[in-house]
Structure 1
Amino acid sequence: MKQAELRPAPLPEGSAVERLAAIRARLAAAAARHGHRPPTLIAVSKGFEAAQILPLIEAGHRVFGENRIQETVAKWPPLRARHPDLELHLVGQLQSNKADEAVRLFDAIHSLDRPSLVEALEKACRRHGRAPRLFVQVNIGAEPQKGGVAIAGLPGLLELARGRALPVIGLMAVPPVDREPAPYFALLAKLARRHGLSGLSMGMSADYELAAELGATHVRVGQALFGLRPVSGPTR
């Protein structure tokens, strides 16, 4: 990969709806170059108000991502009441004591990473009679400051989750920010194949096209879609 390709993806000009169309086109083209289906675009709306999200909903987009339970509770129930076909993904870390709320609120959770969370999610799924689709988060770069199960611990965690009949559909990872992401995306895809998983949640604003080329089934895009966030916190 050329060094220029490691730079953050430019923000498409125009309205949020125009950005949405541009990103969808880029994803489709990137996936087609390697014979993949275009990944699901998760619009990461953390930090943005309903008024900024509504144009995308009105344009037909239905899949959104949030990082925090509290913000989701405050923002999404009115939107979902008006648009019951919306799909919400939790793309941030999940504390075990918040598993009950997460199961109630989200259609997919991308941050299963430890046995205690397996247990908490199993209990919550039984309590609510619903089971969000789950991605196991892998600490693909072995970074101590990041969440995710170590690669060596992945088989055991998957065995535990499957034994509890949790619907694990794929893996999620965030490569180190200062390194070329392609080898980490390729490694995640290899791990998913090894464990019989088809879902690959990988790629954010700076590298979603590369992720699509390497087989991502879900990309988590915030800044390239909404612009800079009005609140502090890591961008996606």
Structure 2
Amino acid sequence: MIERDTPLANPPLEDIRSKIEKAARIADRKSSDIALIAVSKTRSSDEIRPLLEAGHRVFGENRVQEAMEKWPGLKADYPDVELHMIGQLQSNKAAEAVALFDFIHSLDRLSLVKALAKEMDRQDRRIGCFLQVNIGEETQKGGCDIKAVPELLAQALKASIPVAGLMAVPPENVNPVPYFALLAKLARDHDLEGLSMGMSDDFESAIKLGATHIRVGTALFGARATPAV
């Protein structure tokens, strides 16, 4: 385990934290109630370590296999890391996901409810799950239909899955605010407190509308390198 008396400075992280605090203050909220998930998908261990050295401990990955390759080694040095699965999850990866992640943000269908419940029982490990909602009704995106939320929630609770809240990704290139507001209303209607919404370009708006978990990648790590042709 790596220990540091004083975390190393990380300007991008400090800037994001400052913006979170400002947005929370405007919304009359506590910034401590908002989890910053550093989206480390496609990022190498060497790219992730500066954030760890700066004291950040909450990270998100999109693919189970990629996370399994990076995080066991990183967690050996930083065992207090909290790892979130934020990408689409195949039912046949439920065992690995339950073993590795602390939260899953992409519970969107009954077959996955069954697979996760089975693995949580088998591993005797309950992890919080967000129901992913296809808030923009986009055929190319994952997430359950808005009208399917009540049944999916009921089935998840019946299977003793801890439901942390709702998650959504608004359509691209449009104002995300109405979609954030709709997700917040859905959460209130179903007595759910968690709202996983908001990314690098719009997390401040999401916070003002109640986000409890924001997923930030580019603003922390910088733009991804363009693959060579």
TM (normalized to structure 1)?
0.90
8 Å contact kept, 1:114–1:149: yes
1:30 counterpart SS class: helix
Counterpart position of 1:67? 62
Contact 1:67 1:91 survives alignment (8 Å): yes
Give the alignment partner of residue 146 of structure 1, picking from 107, 121, 141.
Answer: 141
* Per-residue deviation, 1:128: 1.0
Which fold has the larger relative contact order, with Cα–Cα distance below 8 Å and residues 6 or more apart in sequence?
A: 1
Query: Partners of 1:159 and 1:153 in 2: how far apart?
Result: 10
Question: Aligned partners of 2:37 and 2:50: how far apart in 1?
Answer: 15
Pair 1:35-2:25 in alignment: no
**Aligned AA for 1:216?**
A
- Which amino acid is the alignment partner of residue 152 of structure 1? K
SS at match of 2:10: helix
Matches of 1:129 and 1:114 in 2, distance apart? 22
Instruction: State the secondary structure of the residue aligned to 1:212.
Output: helix
Structure 1: gaps spanning 5 or more residues? 1-14
Alignment of 1:197-216 (within 5 A): 197-216=192-211
Return the offset for 1:169: 1.1
Quote the Cα distance in structure 2 between the aligned partners of 1:77 and 1:147. Answer: 27
- Give the Cα separation in 2 of the matches to 1:40 and 1:231: 29
- Is 1:227 the counterpart of 2:213? The answer is no
Following the alignment from structure 1 to structure 2, what is the Cα–Cα distance between the partners of residues 149 and 128?
26
Within the candidate set 113, 132, 140, 2:108 is matched to 113
Counterpart of 1:22 (choices 1, 11, 15) is 15
- TM-score w.r.t. the length of structure 2 is 0.93
Residue 3 of structure 1 corresponds to which residue in structure 2? none
User: Counterpart of 1:164?
Assistant: 159
How much has 1:37 moved relative to structure 2? 2.5
Task: Indicate how the Cα distance of structure 1 residues 28 and 121 shifts in structure 2: closer, same or farther if over 3 A, else same.
Answer: same
How far 1:195 moved relative to its partner?
0.4
* Pair 1:231–1:34, CA change in 2 (3 A): same
Question: 4+ runs of 1 displaced by more than 4 Å?
Answer: none
SS in 2 for 1:139: coil
Q: Deviation per CA, 1:127-164: give whole Å up to 9, x if none.
A: 11111110000000111111000010000000000011
Matched AA of 2:225: P
Distance 1:124 1:34 in 2: 39
Q: Does 1:123 align with 2:118?
A: yes
Cα offsets for 1:88-131 (capped at 9, x unmatched): 00010000111111000100000000000000000010111111
* SS of alignment partner, residue 215 of structure 1: coil
Deviation at 1:230, TM superposition (A): 3.5
- Partner Cα distance (1:142, 1:26) in 2: 30
RMSD (CA atoms): 1.3
Whole-angstrom distance in 1 between the partners of 2:141 and 2:226: 21
> Would you say the 8 A contact 1:137–1:147 is kept in 2?
yes
Uncovered stretches (5+) of structure 2, i.e. residues with no partner: 1-7
